Amino acid sequence: MGEDEVSGAIKELGILIGSLENRAGITEAVRQARESGAPDKLRAAYYSVADAELRRQLIVTTGKLDRLYLQKCDLDVALAKEEVSKAIENSNSQPWYLSVASSVGAVIIGQWILGLFGAIAGAIGGFYLGQWLLASIKKENAREIEHAKHLLALAQRRDEESKADPYLFSEEEQKACERQS
């Protein structure tokens, strides 16, 4: 599954879970549990559903959502690594043609305005202009690399956090739809 497909599936499951919670009458308890960041309260709200089939749908769908979220975190890390690689690759290819073109352009303009002395002055000015262009491009490339590395660090942190306690319900709870000790 690609990133768009996973994101779409997460959105669909989120909508489905919302409708199941609404049908079960636990919307307010779930909202409070999510706002407080208390997974135990969320689990208690799900287990408070009297209808066994509805409780099973809630737990199983939440398990699917958890697995998709883990998959999305893995995809985010892979995409962030790819962006870092692209940024590094872009920084390795220097556009020397811009430096040369600016130098040649300055020589031609200097020659046209002041003749030989203008061409010499244009060559000197063109050299520094070319160096300035390359330095600007290198600085921009360094910014892009740092930004890509920052996004990678965020994705890796989110991935590690999601894997520390990945599932709201254990595999046994998802199968039995009952609390496990």
pLDDT in tens, 96-150: 787 788 888 888 998 899 888 888 988 898 889 888 988 899 999 999 999 999 9
Residue with tokens 């039995």: 176
Burial (CB < 10 A; 0-12, 13-18, 19+), residue 158, is: middle
Report whether pLDDT(181) > 60: no
Distance between CA 73 and CA 155 in Å, rounded? 7
Global pTM reads 0.70
- Dihedral sign from CA coordinates of 120, 124, 127, 133: negative
Q: How large is the average pLDDT for residues 164-177? A: 72
Written as six digits, the tokens of 79 are 């995409």
pLDDT in tens, 36-77: 887 888 888 888 888 989 988 988 888 888 888 889 999 999
Distance between CA 16 and CA 170 in Å, rounded? 20
Class of domain 3-176: mainly alpha
